[in-house]
Structure 1
């Protein structure tokens, strides 16, 4: 059954509501874990006696497999059915969450997080593709808007839910709570969501490309986190060789996972380079800020989770306005001003320390950071999609999604090393405070560089082409 044969669902119908609900619940699983794990890191470290490097892997193992395989996950959905692959991904994610919840040591937790990322790579592309394939064309924008808005609410609830579970139950429940949510998701998808697929999808899957992409990201991440170790130089060399091999395979393959030709467009390449800078800073700010609030400022897990809520609220209520502004005046100004505003918010967070006030030291910085992010995100996404040919819209979205996650992955791996943090110093208030301040300056510089890059390379007429 092709997408065109099933694109007859209306938004106001029971089936339409079910499609949106399944997509929101599925993507909400990945969003929930993305926002609560940082809150739990210090507690996990204490309970499992984990080092800083192991805590980095708890975060990065998930991002690594997700970023490496998300393009392949989208291809599998187009070929075998978006609902089918979405359901498989949801079940996989739930099983990996169970393993996270019962992990007896850091090594098992890291492995389980990598497996979670694989599940996320299967269900994340499908959550939006099911909407795109099932709804009539006139209802797709409203359905996507509902998916985006409700997904933002899931992300907003993450820090609160995670903090409550950590403070009043156990950190393991931030993973175990995924199990009932996954059951509901699968039941709704199987019962009401129509199956869609791309009738022209290739039967060939670029497994060599996926494996080489994983090796390239994995080698780089290992070298950065374990810098100074005996195997780190070999991992770095393996990563460089994997990048070269990946480019060669993708260039020669008749049906590559990544169409390298889309990077010939200067705007597309520049927007993705800017994405790498901005999301690297975003991932690092949230990683360091959450630990700073708990280790240095003495916040509970719940308080640390709620501290970033203003940023999420800015996204929830203002991101659509940012998209409207970008459509009206062009993306260049929002994509320039947004990162610079975020850089200003990051510098304000330098005030976070021992015996500080949330209202004067945390709230101004995190709110300004959120305002800049809300201004930036929608114009950035629209620019990436508009810069690619229509037939490559899916791969363009996948590339930008993967680049954003890779940016966070590499920043969380590299910055602790760059600011001299290692071992179990994440639990030492004096050592971590000094590292936090250096990291915030680096993040502000990355954001400012992203703003300058946008001003120099983004063309205002892209959105209307």
Structure 2
């Protein structure tokens, strides 16, 4: 299979054609979800008659259905093809909105939730694989973000318009007709994906007769791999997820509508508030993730989820005439937190070999939904006691489980590209008084190189373009040390030794030379921090430091040999402290 999933030969930020197919699908699915105007759950409760406990029970039934199907869905995806599973799951997603449109009471919600769960269990692992093989590691987080951002732009525009139209057409009962529109949009997405998506497949030999226990054996095998890769903290984090997501899952909109008093006309602005902050921040955050690492991003944005829960709890406790606006703030804060989703998704995908990605996803989801089955019902019970309780439990749970994220490994390891061409020039800079002048003079005399000690930016660029080699020293050397065509040398010595050298050269008292070097060291350190963001003032002890990315091992051996023999000829050997 030719996947190209982790090929680093190109760092182009452009997304692939297959990611564009996923983007179009995401837009259609987002439109399908937005046409209800954020009033779907309210329709289930106020029109179809589903109370809070029933809504919690529906969440539990959905979790059970996903669990049963997910045990086999990852294995089926890996065995028979991810595109087939992805198209089948999208097609099954058409059924629930059609059932909602036809429903006359809440009983029909149960089969609709079951079908939705089965479709989701097919979509999730196959989607993870498709993203893995359709993107490069260098732009994976950005590609995921592009798909998410496109869907959120739609989620930002459609719900408020839909809510206003539905309230004009008859209020919450008119939501029924929006489900028909949702059915048509998801059907279009399924047909589009079936026609346009092309995925390089890694499938097992289909000639052998499958065993019913094989999927379970595969999940056990994946669990063992996760232990070897120190990913069991991810599994613990996932296992506690239902106490944050599932326990409040059906109640976000209800809390805004019933507890905070948000009017129906403004309910459509809730997803818009979330989508707006999400769309504005997602691409910058994801590009940052592709530079600084995934873990730093999803840890630093976690507090915005806590602020979202806290805002709702405060609005539901200390009610005022402005409480109806608090959900919009909470949704916006959640949107900021959600921008870390691309980083977390990329980290989870990169943690496993690509042929196991679907089953790794299935294992995580299986663990999640085992816990989610009772937690969904628990959420309904807590709501019936006090609508604030599910959100209080979610806040406390996420504060505790975030500690597990500190233990998970970082999967994005930044690396510098190897030098493309051999060095032409020599760059030498020093800690003041380390002997730069003497070394440069020796290089000039023995190699016959032209010496450059001072030059402006244009002059340095001209020097670097010359075919004739040069020795570039001092601050001029600092400014070109990152260029590709130079061998870079740093001269160091303990400040005391340098002060003695300066004392001999200038005829100054030792304490005066030492004080002058302190001031000059600070200037050099500031320059190094400005050019390289590095610290020259706190180096570990060394006599010779060799960059093995740029110096071949045989040359490094000769350098060490010459340094060793030369140092033994001296009575004293200064050592960097």
Q: Same fold (TM over 0.5)?
A: yes
CA contact (8 A) 1:348 1:365 kept: yes
CA deviation vs aligned residue, 1:201-253 (integer Å, no higher than 9, x gap): 6666675687xxxxxxxxxxxxxxxxxxxxxxxxxxxxxxxxxxxxxxx3xx3
1:44-59 alignment to 2 at 5 Å? 44-59=44-59
The yes-or-no answer on 1:463 pairing with 2:412 is: yes
Per-residue CA deviations over 1:170-219 (Å, capped at 9, x if unaligned) read 23234322332233224323433336532436666675687xxxxxxxxx
Match of 2:345 in 1: 381
2:42 matched to which residue of 1? 42
Which segment drifts farther, 22-31 or 109-118? 22-31
Distance in 1 (CA, whole Å) between partners of 2:27 and 2:222 is 26
Q: 1:449 to 1:45 in 2, by over 3 A?
A: same
Q: CA deviation at 1:445?
A: 0.8
Matched, 1:340 2:303: yes
| CA drift at 1:54 | 2.0
Match of 1:452 among 388, 403, 407: 403
* Partner residue in 1 for 2:314: 351
TM-aligned CA distance change 1:134 to 1:266, over 3 Å: closer
2: distance between equivalents of 1:385 and 1:137? 10
1:370 has 2:335 as partner: yes
Residue 94 of structure 2 aligns to a residue in which SS?
helix
> Which aligned pairs between 1:39-438 and structure 2 lie closer than 5 A?
39-70=39-70, 72-127=72-127, 129-130=129-130, 144-156=144-156, 159-160=159-160, 163-164=163-164, 166-168=166-168, 170-194=174-198, 196-200=200-204, 207=212, 250=216, 253=217, 255-256=218-219, 259-265=222-228, 267-278=230-241, 280-285=243-248, 287-353=250-316, 355-357=320-322, 361-374=326-339, 376-400=340-364, 411-417=375-381, 419=382, 421-422=383-384, 435-438=386-389
Q: CA deviation at 1:38?
A: 6.8
In structure 1, what is the Cα distance between the partners aligned to 2:405 and 2:175?
40
* Separation (CA, whole Å) in 1 of partners of 2:71 and 2:152: 23
How many Å separate the matches in 2 of 1:356 and 1:286?
Answer: 26
Check conservation: 1:40, 1:162, Cα contact below 8 A. Answer: no
**Which structure 1 segments of 5+ residues have no match?**
6-15, 211-249, 423-430
2: CA distance, partners of 1:448 / 1:46: 34
**Structure 1 CA distance for aligned equivalents of residues 71 and 277 of structure 2:** 29
Bigger shift: 300-309 or 404-413? 404-413
Q: Using CA pairs below 8 Å that are at least 6 residues apart, which structure has the higher relative contact order? A: 1
| Structure 1 position 270, deviation (Å) | 1.5
Question: What stretches of structure 2 of length at least 5 have no aligned partner?
Answer: 5-15, 415-577
> What's the counterpart of residue 440 of structure 1?
391
Q: Relative to structure 2, which stretch is displaced further, 406-415 or 311-320? A: 406-415
Per-residue deviation, 1:94:
1.7
Q: Deviations over 1:421-440 (max 9, x none)?
A: 44xxxxxxxx6xxx133333
CA positional deviation for 1:337: 3.7
Please, what TM-score do these two structures have when normalized by structure 2? 0.57
With over 3 angstroms needed to count, the CA separation of the structure-2 counterparts of 1:341 and 1:125, relative to structure 1, is same
Aligned residues: 401
Deviation at 1:100, TM superposition (A): 2.7
The alignment's TM-score, normalised by the length of structure 1, stands at 0.69
Shift of 1:391: 4.1
CA distance in 2, matches of 1:406, 1:301: 35
Asked whether the 8 Å contact 1:35–1:158 carries over to 2, the reply is yes
| Distance in 1, Cα, partners of 2:332 & 2:393 | 19
Give the corresponding residue for 2:420: none
Contact 2:73 2:125 in 1 (8 A): yes
Offset from partner CA, 1:55-105 (integer Å, 9 cap, x none): 224444444434543463343334333333333333332234322321222
- Following TM superposition, by how much is the alpha carbon of 1:448 offset from its aligned partner in structure 2, in angstroms? 0.9
Aligned partners of 1:64 and 1:406 also within 8 Å: yes
Q: What do you get for the CA RMSD once the two structures are aligned? A: 4.3
Q: Rg: which structure is higher?
A: 2
Counterpart-to-counterpart distance in 2, 1:138 and 1:335: 18
Q: Distance in 2 between matches of 1:129 and 1:398?
A: 12
